[in-house]
A and B are shown apart, each in its own frame.
Chain A
Amino acid sequence: GQQVMQIPQYQHVQEGEDFTTYCNSSTTLSNIQWYKQRPGGHPVFLIQLVKSGEVKKQKRLTFQFGEAKKNSSLHITATQTTDVGTYFCAASNQAGTALIFGKGTTLSVSS
C-alpha cells in the first residue's frame, strides 16, 4: 500500500536555528498536506500542496512540493519555542481519497 516516509524522526535545535523535515513517497502523489501536533494535542492542518514544484510560505515556514510530486519538505527559519511539536506530512495518490500520514518528525527547541 501507499506509504510516506518522513525523516528525521527527531530533531533538537537551539532557539534561532533552522529546521527541515522531509517527506518521501515511492509513488506520485495527488497532493500533500502538512499538520502540526503539539504535545498532548491533536493534528492541526497547516497547508496543502497540489502543483508540481509548488512553494508556499507561512511566516517562518516554507513548504515545497517536488517537481516529480514524490517528495516534500517543511523548513522553519529561526525556530522559536512555540514551534515545538510533531510535524506530519500526509498524502494521497488520488484526489478525494483519505490521507496517509507519515510517522512524523518531533521537534524540540531549547532556549
Chain B
Amino acid sequence: EAGVAQSPRYKIIEKRQSVAFWCNPISGHATLYWYQQILGQGPKLLIQFQNNGVVDDSQLPKDRFSAERLKGVDSTLKIQPAKLEDSAVYLCASSQRTGGRNYGYTFGSGTRLTVV
C-alpha cells in the first residue's frame, strides 16, 4: 500500500513569514496526526483528526498554527507568522479508525522547516 505522503520535504523561510505543509494519509485511515519533532527530541503531538473532525488540539499553538482536514482525507498545517523556535521536522501520521483501541501509526517522511 502507498505510504503517507508529505510535501514539501524541505522549507526555509524567514521569521514572521507564513508556511503550509500538506499531508495525504494512507487510504482508509480515518485518523490523522500532526507531530512536531525538534532535533534530538521525540515527536510532540500538535493535533489529532478523526475523519474531518478535531479530536485533540490542546497542544497546538493556536495563535500561530492552524490545521484542517476538510474532506476527511488530506490535511494541511499552517504556521503564520513563523518564529525561530518553529524550526523542526513536521511529521504527519495516520492510523486506522481508533474506535476505542489504538493502532500503529504510519508516518510520512516529514517536512524539515528551517526558520531564519
Shortest distance from the beta carbon of A19 to any chain B beta carbon, whole Å: 18
Docked-complex contact B41 and A103, CB < 8 angstroms = yes
User: Which residues of A sit under 8 angstroms from B101, Cβ to Cβ?
Assistant: 31, 95-96
Shortest distance from the beta carbon of B69 to any chain A beta carbon, whole Å: 14
- Selected from B42, B109, B110, the residue in CB contact (under 8 A) with A102 is B42
8 Å CB interface, A94-111 against B: 95-104
Which stretch from A39-47, A55-63, A64-72, A77-85 is at the chain B interface? A39-47
Shortest distance from the beta carbon of B52 to any chain A beta carbon, whole Å: 17
- Selected from A41, A95, A98, A104, the residue in CB contact (under 8 A) with B56 is A98
Docked-complex contact A48 and B42, CB < 8 angstroms = no
Which stretch from B18-26, B43-51, B70-78 is at the chain A interface? B43-51
Docked-complex contact B106 and A45, CB < 8 angstroms = yes
User: Which residues of B sit under 8 angstroms from A45, Cβ to Cβ?
Assistant: 104-106
Docked-complex contact A43 and B102, CB < 8 angstroms = no
Q: How far is the CA of A47 from the CA of B107 in the complex (A)?
A: 14
Tell me if A33 counts as interface (CB < 8 A to partner B). yes
Encode B66-109 as 1/0 by CB contact (under 8 A) with A.
Answer: 00000000000000000000000001010000111111111111
Chain A residues packing against B (C-beta within 8 Å): 6, 30-31, 33, 35, 41-45, 47-48, 88, 90, 92, 95-104
In the assembled complex, 21 residue pairs joining A and B whose CB atoms fall closer than 8 Å, in A order, are: A6-B42, A42-B107, A42-B109, A43-B105, A44-B107, A45-B104, A45-B105, A45-B106, A48-B102, A88-B43, A90-B42, A92-B102, A95-B98, A95-B101, A96-B99, A97-B48, A97-B55, A97-B56, A98-B45, A101-B44, A103-B42
Chain B residues packing against A (C-beta within 8 Å): 33, 35, 41-45, 48, 55-56, 91, 93, 98-110
